[in-house]
Amino acid sequence: METPACPLCEQVGTVQWLDEAYAYVCGECATIVADAPLDVVEQPEGVVPPPPRLPRWWVYDRASARHAHEQRRARHATEMVQGAATRLGFAYAAHDSLALLDRALRQERAPPWGALASACLYATLRRDHRLVDVAAVATAMEQTHAAVAHACRWLRRKTALPLLVNDPALYLEAQLAYLEAHPDVLPRAVDMAHVRTMTTRLLQHICTYAWATSLEAPSLAYATIMHAIEGVCRRAWPVRAMASHAPQVSAHTLDGSVLVSPCHASVSTVLVRYAEIEKMLHALVEALPWVAQRPISKRERDRMRHAHGQRSLSRAEVAMYMSDAIEWAAQHPPPETRVWSQAFAARRSIPRSPDHASMAQRLGLHGPRIDALSDADVDARLFAPDELASYMRTPAEQARWAQLKGWDTAPAAPAPVPL
C-alpha cells in the first residue's frame, strides 16, 4: 500500500495515527490528514488472523436457520435409526427407514421426528415380515411407547401403510408352530396348511377394522386360529376345550422374534375375542345370497314359530359357510371407517357384582385384618412370586430389554448405508 504524504509540509513518513485526535496527524506540522486511509487497521507482524466463521454465525434469517436445524436433525436421526436397527438385529432396515422418514417429514402436522423415526423403522420391519413389536422399537430408539404408537397411527393414515400397533400377525407363527408340535391340543387331526391359509385370510379381513391399542393381540390371534380350525373342519367344536390351552400356546416363542410387550393370553380374553369374531362372521354369512335363500329345515321352522319369524344362524352354519363368506367379503370391500369395538365388542350394561373380590380382599389386606399384620407379613403377601409374576418382567424379558438398550455390549458401529 502507498504511504500517504502530508499535504501541508509534503513530507513522507510523518503521518501516523493519533488516538487522542482519533485521526491521522502529521508529526512535523501537526496537520490532520483527511485523505489518509482511515479503513486500514495497522497490525503488527505475527498477529494470528481471526478464525473462519462457522455457518451458524451468519444464520440470522428463518430459512437458513430451518435448513441448519434440518441438517442437524437428519444427522441425529441417522445415528438413532442405525443404532436401533443394529441392536434389533436388522441393520439393513436403516436405509429404507430413513427414506420413509424423509418422505413423512414433508407432510403437514407431522409428529415429533424421534417418534416418527421409530414408526418408520417399525413399518419397514413389518413390511419385511419381521417379528418385532412397537415396544421393542420404542425401547431401542429411546422413545415412549405412547408417542411411537401415535406416530404409527398417523403414518398409517397419511401413507396408507398396513401398519398396526398391536398386530396379531406377530403371534400367529409361534402359535401355529406350537399347535403343529402338539397335535393333541386340537379336537381332531386337521391339515395345518389349510388352517394357516384360512387364518391368514380371516385375519386380513379382521385387520380392516380399527381397534384400540389396549386390545389383546395374542388373544385375538388365538381366537382367529380357533375359528380357522372350525372353518377347515366345517363344523363347530367345543369352545372352552380349545380356549383352555391359550396360556400355553401364547407362551411359545420363536427364534428371531423381538417381542418386548408381555404376550400373555388368558382363557377369558380368548373367549371374548372368539365371541366378537363370531359376531363378525355371523354378519358376513348372513350377507351371502345363497345362505339367505337356503331351504328351511324342520328344526329351524320349529324354532321360528316362537321367534317372530326371523331366521337365525347357528355356530355350525357359520362354520359351514365361513370360507364362502370370507371370499365374498374380499370381493365386496366394506366402508373405510369401521371400529371393531363399536361393531362387535360387548359393552358392560350392569355394574360389577358386589361379591367380586378385589386385590386387597384376595390377599387378605382389607379392613381391620391389615392392622393385625406386621410389615414383614404385608410385604410377603404383596411381593409373593405369583403376585410379582403379574407385573414384573421375566429374566428373559429383562435380558432382551438390556440388549435393546445397549447396556450389555459396547456401542456398535453404525451400519453402512447401502447405495
Q: Buried b / exposed e across 360-397, counting CB within 10 Å, b at 16+?
A: eeebebeeeeeeeeeeeeeeeeeeeeeeeeeeeeeeee
**Does residue 20 or residue 202 have the better pLDDT?**
202
Across 296-324, average pLDDT: 73
pLDDT surpasses 70 at 189: yes
* Cα three-residue angle 286-292-296, rounded to 5 degrees: 120
pLDDT surpasses 80 at 152: yes
Cβ contact 221:247 at 8 Å? no
Determine the distance from the C-alpha atom of residue 285 to the mean position of all C-alpha atoms in its chain, rounded to a whole number: 33
CA separation for the pair 249, 264 (Å, rounded): 10
Query: What is the structure's pLDDT at 123?
Result: 92
What's the pLDDT band for 303 if we cut at 50, 70, 90?
Answer: low
What's the pLDDT band for 305 if we cut at 50, 70, 90?
Answer: low
Across 270-281, average pLDDT: 89
The CB density around residue 9, as the number of other CB atoms within 10 Å, is 14
CA separation for the pair 58, 331 (Å, rounded): 61
Whole-prediction pTM = 0.66
pLDDT surpasses 60 at 32: yes
Query: What is the structure's pLDDT at 387?
Result: 55
DSSP 8-state class, residue 111: P
Which residue blocks in 89-190 are alpha helix, DSSP H? 93-104, 113-127, 134-140, 145-159, 169-181
Query: What is the structure's pLDDT at 349?
Result: 47
CA separation for the pair 216, 410 (Å, rounded): 35
pLDDT surpasses 90 at 199: yes
The DSSP line for 340-365 is HHHHHPPP--SPPPTT---HHHHTT-
Share the mean pLDDT of the chain: 78
In the chain, domain spans: 1-45, 61-159, 169-338
Cβ contact 155:109 at 8 Å? no
CA separation for the pair 329, 122 (Å, rounded): 29
Write out the CATH class of domain 61-159.
mainly alpha
For 5-23, give the secondary structure using H, E and C.
ECCCCCCECCEEEECCCCE
**Does residue 414 or residue 6 have the better pLDDT?**
6
Across 322-347, average pLDDT: 77
Residue where the block lists cell 410387550: 261
